Amino acid sequence: MKSILSFVCLAALTIGAGGVRPGSPQVEPYQVVFDLTSREPANQQAVLRWIREISSANPKAEMEVVMYGQGLDLVVSGRTTPESDVKEALNTARVSFKVCAIALKNQKIDASQLLPKVEVVPDGIGEIVAKQRAGWGYIKVAR
Which CATH number belongs to the domain containing residue 57 in this structure?
3.40.1260.10
End-to-end CA gap in the chain: 49
Structural domains in the chain (count): 1
Q: 81 in a domain, yes or no?
A: yes
Query: Are 43 and 73 spatial neighbours (Cβ–Cβ below 8 Å)?
Result: no
| pLDDT tens across the length of the chain (143 residues) | 444 433 333 333 333 444 455 555 545 899 999 999 999 999 999 999 999 999 999 999 999 999 999 999 999 998 877 888 999 999 988 999 999 999 999 999 999 999 999 999 999 999 999 999 999 999 999 97
Q: Would you state the pLDDT for residue 143? A: 75
In a domain, 86, yes or no: yes
Integer Cα distance of 117 and 119 in angstroms: 6
Determine the structural domain holding residue 99 and report its residue range: 29-140
Give the span between the Cα atoms of 38 and 73, in whole angstroms: 8
12 in any annotated domain = no
Helix (H, G, I), strand (E, B) or coil at 64: strand
- Residue 53 and residue 82: Cα distance in Å, rounded? 17
DSSP element (H, E) containing 98 = strand 95-100
User: Residue 1 falls within a domain, yes or no?
Assistant: no
